[in-house]
Amino acid sequence: MAGLSPMMVQYMETKKQYSDCILFYRLGDFYEMFFDDALTASKELEITLTGKECGLEERAPMCGVPYHAVDSYLSRLVQKGYKVAIAEQMEDPKLAKGLVKREVIRVVTPGTITSAQALDETKNNYLMGIVYLGDKMGISVADITTGDFLVTEVSSERSLFDEINKFSPAEIICNDAFSVSGISLDEIRNRYHFAMSCLDARFFQDEGCRKLLLEHFKVGSLEGLGLADYDCGVVAAGAVLQYLYETQKSTLDHLTTIIPYSTGNYMVLDSSTRRNLELLETMREKQKRGSLLWVLDKTRTAMGARLLRTWIEQPLIHREEILERQKAIEELNFNYISREELGEYLNPVYDLERLIGRISYKSANPRDLLAFRNSIAMVPYIRNLLNEFTCENLQKLKEDLDTLEDLHDLITRAIVEEPPITVREGGMIKDGFHEEADRLRNAKTEGKTWLAELEAKERDKTGIKSLKVKFNKVFGYYFEVTNSFKDLVPDYFIRKQTLTNAERYTTDELKNLEDVILGAEDKLFSLEYELFCQVRDKIGAEVVRIQRTARAIAEIDTYVSLSTVATRNNYVKPSINEKGNIQIRGGRHPVVEKMMRGDLFVANDTCLDNSRNRISIITGPNMAGKSTYMRQTALIVLMAQIGSFVPADQANIGICDRIFTRVGASDDLASGQSTFMVEMTEVANILRNATRNSLLILDEIGRGTSTFDGLSIAWAVVEHISNTRLLGAKTLFATHYHELTELEGIMSGVNNYCIAVKEQGDDIVFLRKIVKGGADKSYGIQVAKLAGVPESVISRAKELVEELSDADLTAKAREIAGISANVTSHKPVPKPDDVELSQLTLFDTVREDDIIEEIKGMELGNMTPIDALNTLYRLQTKLKNRWSANADQ
């Protein structure tokens, strides 16, 4: 570093310590970057690249951003995956002797950014730590903006990716052993597009991690944290905490709890299922609109939105927990007025979790404190409303709500109603809060009176009518005289500045007055800042109370949202069983029915169990609604297991440990995999990881290869799933291989269903109704006609279809199944022309023909009101009994 200027030597020493970061180096009102950092930042931020004399032969490349706008530039760099170290001036340049002391006060990374404008308030911003220790992997995730901190352990690569998909972290840190475990870090980066780095071995020392966790959470043993059985998880959590300490350089007081969890406590959803079911965003546009979250999210707070997202990503598998959530939603449904009042009180509540995060970080400004005060002002009203409810969950939430009246009173007494954004320029503290502040404020106010009196006196004395006392930060207070009165300026006026149209002067009297006023102002600004910090620290000291209240509000908001959706959309409370029975009557797709305009959604039934109805082979033409039907079944099951009501007339849902989907086809060009390879990889994952308690959604397996290969694979997959010794999972299997319908009656638990279609000459009408039986035609040519394929092509296709009849293929399939060519193995398809749409149902044992006939024969005119009510109750009871009997089968 020979030849460098002293300031650049200081810069280079700091840069050496943070060589993997872009260094924002504070110089006056700017954060400057030099050398390679300047080249990178100027390109990424599209700002001007200049140069600076640094003692070398060539000027050092330099660029900079103003300190007051640093957040926006910082966010852009971090979103591109860079780490940024912020070096701040640690002393007042006016008071510094020699070089101003500078230190890095924080390192900002994708997983540790706290800027509100860089984050989606409805999503957590997780940092994930992964430690690989041979037979196990420890996983820990933390969101420093909300204080969430979780830890678990997994034993397989598949389980690891399930957790990555669940949390979608912004950044991953790992140990060196993970990088050589056979799992490609580059593949993870390319697939998920987030920052990933391996840390030094010192972050993953067993004893160091254990000691750090005990010190941070102030406990004597790991048992006190619930981590006694998480040896690998302790290392992951310790590494994450150490990383946060070293990058944030703060006490992290808002990380008050660490929650160990077992991956077996929630339904497992892999990346394909999340994508295919469009849980959080649509597959094509990647938009919230059109997803399940879009339908269910009527939350009023950012905290509630994040919690609802978590519930959707982690459905429950324990019946009692599901039922407790149902009770809360049901009670809110019955208390409509109170629910709407709760919503009104939730509306003004800001993001308390992230507000207390900023308060703990000491980055909250006065307006943040007012937002905090206005939010907690709603808590007493919310708590009072909860007295009207009796269910256990809502009562527990009421007890968790702390009204925080002491903090509300503190902020009300201390902070003015319209404070400035900055904290260094005064104007924050109310009159009467602090005696010394009031005295200095009065001196400042009186000073303005003194200035006005001096201005009037000099104007009369000199005869300069335009004379005015003005102020700026460079020259302080001065007299300004326009050029037309310049000749009247007396000798004791001392010139300070010449302008085009005026001159600026001072006098000894004005200078003395300036010293008094500015001295009082500087002292007041400094005192107000100290008082503000004291108020902020008092609030920060109550972080545990505030976080408990914030989490209770988030859960209340989530219940109110799910209740609102249930009543608006006519959802029903599903029964929950552990026998594996899935019985849905009149089920609807929650998203599609909301997206439809003008048309009514055609509801359908679903009947699956672990014995006679394990596999449903669904046939029918494209566009008829097979995929929609299968997805709706999966979504109804998932909604039931988050505790939500479901879009159906009636539902009895058996708890599923996993939902797997293989829907649609696309090439994975990035990894060089064809459509068929992607399909087979997903099928392999399903067959290896599903259990008998899983729900499988398989759409057109085998279509990406030749007809014979595809049919053979599809056939073998059905055989494997139907074999209870190998798998025996509940499955909806859509296919265009009509030969698979021969399996009904041959393999146990396999049943044929199809989409009802009405033929009108050469045209078809999709009835969107699932009926028993297999389709004998694909109607591909009719669908092509509907899609607008030219008539000449349609005509030629009709000629070719007769020549390319698949009779031989079907015969071979029947021969494999051991069926005589003269025997029909599956039930005939009902003729939609002869059957009313409203009468098509999968539940033949729950037909209401006798009830309908009874209603038709009633003489309503001769019934008294009490007779009518009794009759209605009797009929309702009869229907419920039939439904229950069928559900238990």
Tell me how far the alpha carbon of residue 165 is from its chain's centroid.
12
- Residue 465 three-state SS: coil
pLDDT value, residue 653: 97
pTM over 0.85: no
Cβ burial, residue 449 (10 Å; 0-12/13-18/19+)? exposed
**Mean of all residue pLDDT scores within the chain:** 87
499 DSSP 8-state letter? -
Element of type H or E holding 502: strand 502-506
- Residue 216 three-state SS: helix
Backbone angles phi, psi at 334, to 5 degrees: -75, -25
Distances in whole angstroms, Cα of residue 149 to Cα of each of 125, 128, 209, 437: 12, 10, 15, 41
* CA–CA distance, 243 with 199 (Å, rounded to integer): 9
Residues in the chain: 889
* Cβ-proximal residues to 530 (8 Å cutoff; 6+ apart), any chain: none
pLDDT value, residue 886: 53
* CA–CA distance, 112 with 248 (Å, rounded to integer): 8
* Cβ-proximal residues to 17 (8 Å cutoff; 6+ apart), any chain: 104
229-250: pLDDT as tens digits: 999 999 999 999 999 999 999 8
Q: Which parts of the chain have pLDDT scores under 70? A: 1-2, 598, 664-674, 761-762, 776-778, 804-850, 881-889
- DSSP alpha helices (H): ranges in 754-856? 780-786, 791-803, 807-816, 849-856
Element of type H or E holding 717: helix 707-722
349-390: pLDDT as tens digits: 999 999 999 999 888 999 999 999 999 999 999 999 999 999
pLDDT value, residue 691: 93
pLDDT value, residue 848: 56
**Residue 89 forms beta bridges with which residues?**
102
pLDDT value, residue 707: 78
Backbone angles phi, psi at 442, to 5 degrees: -65, -40
* CA–CA distance, 106 with 249 (Å, rounded to integer): 6
pLDDT value, residue 531: 95
